Amino acid sequence: MSFNNNWPRWIFASCCKHFDANKGTNELHIESQRRKTNTNTSHIELRFDGPRFEEQSNNFFYTHIELNVLIHVLADMSDLHKIHRIAGEVAAIFTGIKLYRYGSGVGDDDQLFGCLDLIQAGRANQLEINHFGRIGKETDIIQASVEGHYQTHLRG
């Protein structure tokens, strides 16, 4: 057996379910998901880079993915801590992510096939919160992001 072409889809679905299950009261959108634009609400948006696969030995793949959550908050002068509070709530979601074979196609059976581990080694892999402030002079939207890097090993 070799590389499984379902892995990217299963990883995506598992990450989406993990963040949705742990979002609390935050409204969650997935990158590229169609939605109504409403500037009167705060929301978070899950974004993906990867996964990247490296075959380290015969049918044994090192897998790396970067997850980023963009936080959109309507500025509220009576609660200057709001963006920081939501950033903390989002950062708490960055834990291990169980990987399941989600879907309705061939090979999809909702069975566990791995776990993504949050990488905490080295400066480049720290869980990172960034604050961007107002996104423009004509808007009251404030943005921040939380980014984490994950890894796992998969056997083909």
pLDDT in tens, 38-85: 555 789 999 999 999 999 999 999 999 999 999 999 888 888 899 999
Which residues have a Cβ under 8 Å from the Cβ of 6 and sit 6 or more positions away?
Answer: 101, 103, 105, 107, 108
Helix (H), strand (E), coil (C) string for 58-80: CCEEEEEEEEEEEEEEECCCCCC
In the predicted structure, residue 36 carries a pLDDT above the cut 80: no
The residues that bridge with 126 in the sheet, in sequence order, are none
Which segment of 19-28, 54-63, 75-84, 119-128 scores lowest on mean pLDDT?
119-128
Looking at domain 7-32+42-146, its CATH architecture is: 2-Layer Sandwich (3.30)
Residue 46 burial (C-beta neighbours within 10 Å; 0-12, 13-18, 19+): buried
One-letter amino acid identity for 23? K
* CB contact set of 152 (below 8 Å; sequence gap of 6+): 63, 99, 114, 115, 116, 117
Domain boundaries along the sequence of the chain: 7-32+42-146
| pLDDT on residue 146 | 98
Residue 79's φ and ψ, nearest 5 degrees, are -145, 80
Average of per-residue pLDDT across 79-102: 96
**Residues 83/141, Cβ–Cβ less than 8 Å:** no
Provide mean pLDDT across the span 128-138: 90
Return mean pLDDT, the chain: 91
DSSP H or E segment with residue 98: strand 97-100
> pLDDT value at position 104?
86
pTM, two decimals, is: 0.91
Cα dist. 102→6, 7, 85 in Å? 10, 10, 32
